[in-house]
Amino acid sequence: MPDTLKQSEVDSKTDPSVAKQYDNETPKEQQIKDFFQMVDGKKICMLNTYRNGIGPVGRSMALARRDGPDFLFLANAHSNKFSDLKENKEVQISFQDIKTQDWISVTGVATTTDNSDPRIKEVWSRGAAAWFGDLGDGKHTGGPEDPRMTLIEIKSKYVSYYVAEVGLLGYAKEVISANITGGVANTGKLRELKEADLEKARSM
């Protein structure tokens, strides 16, 4: 059921939805495990870079591999995101499940490699080649040796994510009830992992 809004919550100038759904109870180790499980079930994300004179620029990307709380992407070295990253290495990754309303937001720092990185062969797949094409010159084949084939590695600095605790019907009921009662819809748990938590995650 929706939670009652209190005057003290308004006076404190806090966001009641965040305050009421923020998870202070689940141990961080479990939050980390849940974060890993959620990411592993959502292979497509938005990768957002920052472009000078424009602002944030996003594009859909397939996750090549998760290494603890960090992420690896295969990418075309000729794409504009590499010029973005040359100017500003801070990025954001976001995942969302429209069926459950779960979402994940990751802020991190990106590093890029060239085609000599041996991990390219580890994460390359025939499906990845479809996004590069074969020029027929024996060099730009879309394969792991293609000089355009590079990696973007993102080290996470901050993670926030939301775990829905109701289905779509329950979500609708919460919203409707909140509108009727003046309460605040309570549909799940909001969690955050800070740098110390992410360092712990790298050792798990």
Tens digit of each residue's pLDDT, the chain (204 residues): 665 656 665 445 566 667 778 899 999 999 999 999 999 998 899 999 999 999 999 999 999 999 999 999 999 999 999 999 999 999 999 999 988 889 999 999 999 999 999 999 999 999 999 999 999 999 999 999 999 999 999 999 999 999 987 666 655 665 556 566 655 556 689 999 999 999 999 998
Residue the block writes with tokens 């991990």: 119
- Supply the pLDDT for residue 30: 97
Q: Per-residue DSSP letters for the chain? A: -PBPP-HHHHHTT--HHHHHHB--SS-HHHHHHHHHHHHHT--EEEEEEEETTTEEEEEEEE--EEETTEEEEEEETTSHHHHHHHH--EEEEEEE-TTT--EEEEEEEEEE--TT-THHHHH--HHHHTTT---SSSS-SSSTT-TTEEEEEEEEEEEEEEEE-S-HHHHHHHHHHHHHHS-B---EEEEEE-HHHHHHHHH-
Give CA–CA dist 20/185, Å, rounded: 9
CB-based contacts of 123: which residues, under 8 Å, 6+ apart?
Answer: 64, 65, 72, 74, 151
CATH class name, domain 27-161+193-203: mainly beta
